[in-house]
Amino acid sequence: MEVTLECERGKSFIILQSDTSEVVIKRHSTWSESHIAVAGRYGLLLAYQAIPEMIESAARKEASPEEKEVATKILCGFSAFIDVILKSPYLAPLPVFVTELLEASGIKYKPELREVGIGLYKFTPIIFTPSTVLRYRDMINKELELPARQAPSGVVDYSLIDLIVSKSANGSLIIVEEPEEHKNPLQQIELMRRMVNLSKEKNLTLVLTTHSEIVIHAILKEVETGSLKNDAVKLYYFKRDDENPWTTVEEIGVHKDGSLEEPLLDFEEAVVQIF
């Protein structure tokens, strides 16, 4: 008996095969697509765009021969270890982040096998382009255009989340880790309103992990104003302490007015300690 697993967009197959027969079990996914905006997006983007910046620096006419030589040596040395680096557990989210960024940008990146004479060769399109075209306009000085490493980190992170969510197909599952990263309270509120509106427009299932009370209350405010129904929001509270070292998960109900059945104890303790 041979067992084969195959996946396509929105569905998966389990194939049970013997010498005489084949049985195919199909399982359709609830969602048309699934996407994740991993935590640490801003840092991953800066790391991701380091290579095209070095290439650009080496190619600039105004760069000195010494600078070009150093850049070339760095690139040559780096290219030999790029596969190892990308697979390092310390950069585990990077391939996932790059995939999501490229898909959202509409850029072809998947390797292709091409036939040439007596054999095949694997062709991988250059994947460093998106990080060089992600540029940001200043809100006040509209003529000022900045690369990601010079733009405000909160604006960059907001744009990465918005790009992935807005480009997703209708009916997708979207997971956003720590949407509050690098953002002040007002930016967090604005982002949550944007996410709620996109979720409603595109029938998305939005899953958030957060350490921010502002993110939670921004969503509850949408319930209070009637923009969201309370039964469309599920809140799960993860907690552990010395007495219970294993993480426990508790669902906290949401009322129609946007209030919670139980308080968020960690946030209440933070308020007590500060005030």
Burial 213-245 (b: 16+ CB within 10 A, else e): bbbbbbbbbbbbeeebebeebebeeeeeeeeee
Same domain, 47 and 133: yes
Give the tens place of pLDDT for each residue, 25-52. 555 567 888 888 988 888 888 877 776 6
Same domain, 24 and 86: no
Residue 258 covered by a domain: yes
Average pLDDT over residues 207-218: 95
Residue 166 covered by a domain: no
Q: Is the pTM of this model over 0.95?
A: no
**Residue 19: strand, helix, or coil:** coil
**Rounded Cα distance, 256 and 240, in Å:** 29
**Residue 92: strand, helix, or coil:** coil
End-to-end Cα separation, the chain, in angstroms: 67
Same domain, 252 and 221: yes
Same domain, 133 and 228: no
Q: Angle, to 10 degrees, between the axis of helix 41-48 and the axis of helix 153-166?
A: 90
User: How confident is the prediction for the chain on average, in pLDDT?
Assistant: 79
Which of 151, 186, 204 is the endpoint of a domain?
A: 151
Same domain, 25 and 107: no
Q: Does residue 1 have a pLDDT over 50?
A: no
Average pLDDT over residues 223-239: 94
Same domain, 46 and 146: yes
Query: Are 151 and 136 contacting, i.e. CB atoms less than 8 angstroms apart?
Result: yes
The phi, psi pair for 223, rounded to 5°, reads: -70, -45
Domain residue limits at 267: 178-274
Total domains, the chain: 3
Beta strands in the chain (DSSP E): 2-8, 11-17, 22-28, 34-37, 112-116, 119-123, 135-137, 145-147, 173-177, 205-209, 235-239, 248-252
Same domain, 26 and 49: no
Same domain, 87 and 113: yes
Query: Over the Cα atoms of the chain, what is R_g?
Result: 23
